[in-house]
Structure 1
Amino acid sequence: MNHIAVLGNGRVGSNLAAALTRAGHQVTVADRTPGAAAEAARTARIVINATPGAGSLERLAALREELRGKILVDVSNATTDGPDGLPADLLHPGSSLAEQLQEALPETSVVKTLNTMLFSVMTAPAALTQPPTAFLSGEDPQAKQTVLELLTDLGWQREWVTDLGGIRTARATEAAILFVPHVIRAAGFAPFALSIAR
């Protein structure tokens, strides 16, 4: 059992918190207010960033002391939105939110994952008609192993998880968000994820 803090109580954060609680973890959910996030991060071993990506960097950089020595699981994508509210462009072109977080939080192990799918697939990957792929990006192998174990608790089979390497590889998975608005316009909000076919 891990003590996990989920920052963000929207659809993504609530979904992850409920599934991790069912898996036997001790989970605290914090809204976006600084005091609540700081208290939740202070007492957790693992912190999940499920806050809107456009404000994540500023919000989490303010928690540098609380996040020292912790694993930060970043599932957000930092984008600017189009007129319909769907992602239109990347907020950190030539970089990624995960890289920016790791730079701002050098004593925190940032691991990027679960950002290439509709939120419902994060906790129900087997519900799709074919196996999806979850990607891992991060500098700390032990942190990535811990996150892999969390993914298995969420229903991900190990062969569905691909470790891409260091945190710089998050640029690729974050860029995949640009597929999302087109997929949604074409097929609606039906659950979907990227999948590597071999």
Structure 2
Amino acid sequence: MTTIAVLGNGRVGGGLATALLRAGHEVTVADRTPGVAADAARGAQLVINATPGAGSLERLTALREELRGKILVDVSNATVDGPDGLPAELIHPGSSLAEQLQEALPDTRVVKTLNTMLFPVMTAPSALAQSPTVFLSGEDPEAKQVVRGLLSDLGWQQEWMTDLGGIESARATEAAILFVPHVIRASGFAPFAISITH
């Protein structure tokens, strides 16, 4: 059992918290209120960033002390939305939210994952007709191993997990968010994920 703080209580954070509780972890969900988030992060072994990506860097940088020495699982994408409310461009072109977080939080082990799919797939990957892929980016092998365990608890099989390497590889998976509005316009709001087949 891991003590987990989920920062963000929307569809993403709520879904992850429910699934991780069901898997036997101790989970606290915090909204974006600074004091509430700080308390949750302070008492956790692992923190999940499920806050809207546009404000995540500022929000989490303010928790530097609470996040020191901990694993930060970043599932957010930092984008500017278009008129239809769907992602239109990246806030950190040539970089990524995960890289910015790792630079701002040098004593925290950032792992990027679960950001290349619509949110229902995060906790129900086997519901898709074909096997999806979940990617991991981060500098710390031990932290990524812990996150692999959490992914297993969410229903991800080991063969569906691909470790892309260091945190800089997150810029590739974060850029994949630009697929989303086009896929939704073409296929409707149905669960989907990026899948790498061999």
TM-score, normalised on structure 1? 1.00
SS of 2:64 mapped into structure 1: coil
Q: Deviations over 1:12-47 (max 9, x none)?
A: 000000000000000000000000100000000000
2:188 matched residue in structure 1: 188
2:138 matched residue in structure 1: 138
- The offset of 1:188, in angstroms, is 1.0
RMSD: 0.3
**1:67 paired to 2:67:** yes
Q: In structure 2, what is the Cα distance between the partners aligned to 1:197 and 1:161? A: 12
SS of 2:59 mapped into structure 1: helix
Q: In structure 1, what is the Cα distance between the partners aligned to 2:182 and 2:73? A: 26
Q: In structure 1, what is the Cα distance between the partners aligned to 2:33 and 2:127? A: 34
1:6 matched residue in structure 2: 6
Q: In structure 2, what is the Cα distance between the partners aligned to 1:16 and 1:185? A: 26
SS of 2:136 mapped into structure 1: strand
Q: In structure 1, what is the Cα distance between the partners aligned to 2:194 and 2:45? A: 29
SS of 1:131 mapped into structure 2: coil
Equivalent residues in 2 for 1:71-110, closer than 5 Å: 71-110=71-110
Equivalent residues in 2 for 1:140-155, closer than 5 Å: 140-155=140-155
Q: In structure 2, what is the Cα distance between the partners aligned to 1:70 and 1:45? A: 6
> When the two structures are aligned, how many residues end up with a matched partner?
198
List, as ranges, runs of 4+ consecutive aligned residues in structure 1 with deviation greater than 3 Å.
none
Q: In structure 2, what is the Cα distance between the partners aligned to 1:128 and 1:50? A: 22
Q: In structure 1, what is the Cα distance between the partners aligned to 2:57 and 2:115? A: 16
Residue identity (%)? 82
- Which ranges of structure 2 fall in alignment gaps of 5 or more residues? none
**1:51 paired to 2:18:** no
Q: In structure 2, what is the Cα distance between the partners aligned to 1:63 and 1:117? A: 27
Q: In structure 2, what is the Cα distance between the partners aligned to 1:86 and 1:149? A: 31
